[in-house]
Amino acid sequence: MPQPRQQMDRFTPIFAIAAAAELAEMHPQTLRQYDRIGLVSPQRTSGNTRRYSLHDIEQLQEVARLSAEGLSLEGIRRVLQLEDEVRELQGRVRELERALSDEMLNRPERRVFAAGQAGEIITMRRGSRLRRSAEVVVWRPEGR
């Protein structure tokens, strides 16, 4: 029985170190050094050889760009780490926005809020109205 084909994407590790170095326009030894210090972490085969993905190559190109701008390798590592955190947080925000949107669509009877007379927040059911006070307030300008 044939094996199902694996979907390839930009994270699929397909490039050996020589091909990745050529695509990133770097020396293979530079890729090894970047792997040792954690700038780029290629996946490993069962024989423990490095396999790089298109994402890894893009990251190597970003390292080269940041290095050319004068950042140290530690600075580059920190920038890449922060960019990864931003991407994760953006994904989480999108996930929460979808969940909120789904919740609002699936529960139209959800409560809404209004401001009370003293500025307090009042929780109300959708479609209901806030009862107005029947008090009469007389306003007199100062000095009259």
139: left (phi > 0), else alpha (psi -120 to 50), else beta?
beta
- Does 132 fall in a domain? no
pTM: 0.62
pLDDT given at position 95: 94
Chunked into runs of 10 residues, the chain (144 residues) has average pLDDT values of: 73 96 96 94 94 96 96 94 95 92 72 71 69 64 70
- Does 129 fall in a domain? no
- Does 94 fall in a domain? yes
pLDDT given at position 103: 78
CA–CA distance, 52 with 54 (Å, rounded to integer): 7
- Does 126 fall in a domain? no
Domain that holds residue 95: 17-106
